[in-house]
């Protein structure tokens, strides 16, 4: 197995979904989303890092104990965005020993083992620098742009561009793998589009355009299934699957 550190970004509060606890703890068919993701990641890293907010640390730790699961909890002290959240893990013990980081958003409950394996295996076999999973959809909240040869050029976040009329296109699903040594220095740089215009937060997806501009190997794999697009933003998003 490649030298991979798995990371779950779960610092978001559940308040926007009407929950009194972190939304990663919301149960789908009796099993919290976090538990589902940890079980999915186990073949790659049996003690992943979970990025939490200060109020979510205790309930998430309780969930781990209840389900006899292990993870390193890293607190994002303030909600400064996903890029900031990822940077929070940099000083975790032994993190510098890992070559690759496998990152998954903490509110997507239905990632399939086959999809994850396809992404990881492709990334390692091809020697890529940054690889992520996508799907063609009718309404793309994020939009993968490619050149005439099919190479990824950037990923547009429609919210940050003020786009309200969503078009069909290729979007990411919140599943990534990348080289640690390349991404963390880039996240510390003051790059274009680092700070969201609508949120003022340090984003993450802007990094793709920077990597491409540096001639690094970025690949988007359109291998996601329809169910893998489901994420918990509102309870209604997952109601059909309860």
pLDDT digits 0-9 by tens, 188-233: 999 999 998 888 999 999 999 999 999 999 999 999 999 999 999 8
Q: What is the pTM of this model?
A: 0.94
pLDDT at 1 over 90: no
**What's the pLDDT band for 237 if we cut at 50, 70, 90?**
confident
Of the chain, the percentage scoring pLDDT greater than 70 comes to 95
pLDDT at 187 over 90: yes
Q: 4 near 177, Cβ under 8 Å?
A: yes
Q: Which CATH superfamily is domain 4-241 in?
A: Spore Coat Polysaccharide Biosynthesis Protein SpsA; Chain A (3.90.550.10)
Domain ranges (residues) in the chain = 4-241
- Examine the pLDDT at 175 and tell me if it is beyond 70: yes
* Confidence category of residue 239, pLDDT binned at 50, 70, 90: confident
Beta bridge partners of 46: none
Count each helix (H run) and each strand (E run) in the chain, helices first: 7, 11
- Can you give the pLDDT at residue 17? 67
Pairing mode, strands 169-179 and 100-105: antiparallel
């Amino acid at each position: 197995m490649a030298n991979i550190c798995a990371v779950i970004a779960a610092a978001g509060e559940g308040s926007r979904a009407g929950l009194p606890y972190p939304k990663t703890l919301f149960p789908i068919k009796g099993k919290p989303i976090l538990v589902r993701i940890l079980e999915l990641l186990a073949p790659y890293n049996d003690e992943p890092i979970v990025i939490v907010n200060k109020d979510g640390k205790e309930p998430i730790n309780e969930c781990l104990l209840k389900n006899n699961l292990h993870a390193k909890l890293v607190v994002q002290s303030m909600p400064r965005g996903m890029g900031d959240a990822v940077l929070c893990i940099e000083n975790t013990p032994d993190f510098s020993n890992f070559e690759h980081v496998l990152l998954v958003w903490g509110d997507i409950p239905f990632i399939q083992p086959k999809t994850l394996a396809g992404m990881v295996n492709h990334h390692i076999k091809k020697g890529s620098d940054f690889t992520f999973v996508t799907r063609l959809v009718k309404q793309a909240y994020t939009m993968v742009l490619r050149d005439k040869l099919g190479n990824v050029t950037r990923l547009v976040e429609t919210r940050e561009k003020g786009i309200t009329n969503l078009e069909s296109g290729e979007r990411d699903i919140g599943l990534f793998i990348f080289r640690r040594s390349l991404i963390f220095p880039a996240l510390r740089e003051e790059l274009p589009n680092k700070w969201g215009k609508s949120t003022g937060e340090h984003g993450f997806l802007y990094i793709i355009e920077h990597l491409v501009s540096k001639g690094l190997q970025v690949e988007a794999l359109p291998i996601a299934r329809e169910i893998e697009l489901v994420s918990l933003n509102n309870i209604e998003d997952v109601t059909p699957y309860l």
